[in-house]
Amino acid sequence: MDEIAREGVCGLMDILAPGVRPGSDVAHLALLGYDPFVYYTGRGVFEAAGSGLKVGPNDVAFRCNFATVDENGVVVDRRAGRGTYGLDTLASLLDGLSLRGSPDIEVIFRATVGHRAALIFRGRGLSSKISDTDPGKVGMRSLESIPLDGSFEARKTASALNEFTKSAHELLKRHEINEERVKRGELPANFILSRGASVLPKLKSVSERYGFESSTCIAEVALVKGVAACVGIDIVDVPGSTGGLDTDVMAIGRAAVNSLKEKEFVFVNVKGCDVASHDKNIRGKIEMIEKIDGMVGYIRRQIDLKETIFVLTSDHSTPIEVADHSGDPVPIAIAGSPVRADDVDSFNERSVAKGGLGRIRALDLMPILLDLMGKARKFGA
């Protein structure tokens, strides 16, 4: 990473604006040049798109958890103990569920990564202006979804989500998979908590917007893949990439190098540092940074900076001390001809602050990249 800094131009980058804390979906929209204040419609649609579901223009998508409630309906674990045993089977039970109160709504449900799942309501006259059923903490019952505006569509969608939640609980609570989970010492996955109702934003693809002939996204989590999918970037799944600290970064690096042979734009996201930071696992974070350093070195040795622009950055800061996304700017280094290099020779938050990019914003990144790629149009004569 220091080599990229040494060869290139460095700086600090605010993902949104100084002090504003971005989520990963919003951050990736901004990095790809789509202003989240204009285009962000919520998380659910990106989770769904990132899990391989096609989200249509009339769909409302939700981000769901398999969760555990007790006999009184009180949430005892929002992630069903994180055990994934049998979740695909349980998900197939809910996929295609008929809703008695809204027979015109098609229900699409899929288990994604870990305890997570994606839910889509498909049909006319739906709205994303409804509240979550996920209470966000344990010790209380799930919430009734309520319409957030006075529209018929919001009332209909909230009512459908409540019926789905109730029916799902009935189907799950006595299912043999959950009996087995308990026998295995796991918590039963007997409840679906939903949040982030959202519709597909109207996003032009990167090929329309930037003239990229081809593009690939190599990411580990559905949320990031979903953003890429929604802007028309091909998703490559890499065996061994887990999104955790045990991920195979070198497999990711090899996939990136292979993609670069065919694609004009390749976008890679490795999740581990964020995971370790959320868990205040400083040892794990350092090891993850070292692994990524190895991956960056591998990619660097495989490419020719006369032909390729290498951007090294992050989608947000997650300081160990905060254990959550912070509003700090992220370090960025850009190497490759015709970058105007600076004096910075190491890639870290302190040294890049003295670099030739100064302090930019994520929305500046694509224009800078297009300029370096010779794809920017001149304004004026």
| Cβ-based nearer residue to a second copy, 302 or 346 | 346
DSSP codes of every residue in 125-161: S--S-B--S--SSSSSBPPPP-BSSS-HHHHHHHHHH
Rg (CA), the chain: 22
Nearer to a second copy, 301 or 378 (CB): 378
Residues 332 and 352 sit within 8 Å (Cβ to Cβ) = yes
Assign 60 to helix, strand or coil: strand
Q: Indicate the DSSP class of residue 174.
A: T
Name the nearest CA neighbour of 284 among 320, 310, 328, 314: 320
From residue 228, give the alpha-carbon distance in Å to each of 161, 264, 342. Answer: 27, 15, 31
The least CB distance from residue 178 to a second copy, in Å, is: 28
Rounded to a whole number of angstroms, the minimum distance from the CB of residue 316 to a second copy is 9
Question: 62 in helix, strand or coil?
Answer: strand
Least distance from C-beta 370 to a second copy, angstroms?
A: 6
Q: Which is nearer to a second copy, 10 or 255 (CB)?
A: 10
DSSP 196-243: EEE-------HHHHH--S-EEEE-SSHHHHHHHHHTTPEE---TT--S
Q: How far is the CB of 168 from a second copy (least distance, A)?
A: 22
Q: Which residues bind a second copy (CB under 8 A)?
A: 11-12, 16-27, 36, 40, 43, 63, 196, 223, 317, 319, 321-322, 324-329, 337-338, 340, 342-343, 349-350, 353-360, 364, 366-372, 374, 376-381
Minimum Å gap between C-beta 353 and a second copy is: 4
Question: CB of residue 195 vs a second copy: minimum separation in angstroms?
Answer: 9
Q: Which of 52, 53, 76 is nearest to 65 (CA)?
A: 76
**Does residue 27 contact residue 327 with C-beta atoms inside 8 Å?**
no
Q: Which is nearer to a second copy, 57 or 379 (CB)?
A: 379
Q: Which is nearer to a second copy, 67 or 334 (CB)?
A: 334
CB of 23 to a second copy, least distance (A): 3
Residue 97 Cβ, how far from a second copy at the closest point, in Å?
25
For residues 103 and 379, which CB has a smaller minimum distance to a second copy in the complex?
379
Rounded CA gap, 98 and 104, in Å?
Answer: 9
Nearest Cα neighbor of 226 from 5, 19, 46, 29 is 46
| 42 or 272: CB nearest a second copy | 42
- Nearest residue (CB) to a second copy, 257 versus 360: 360
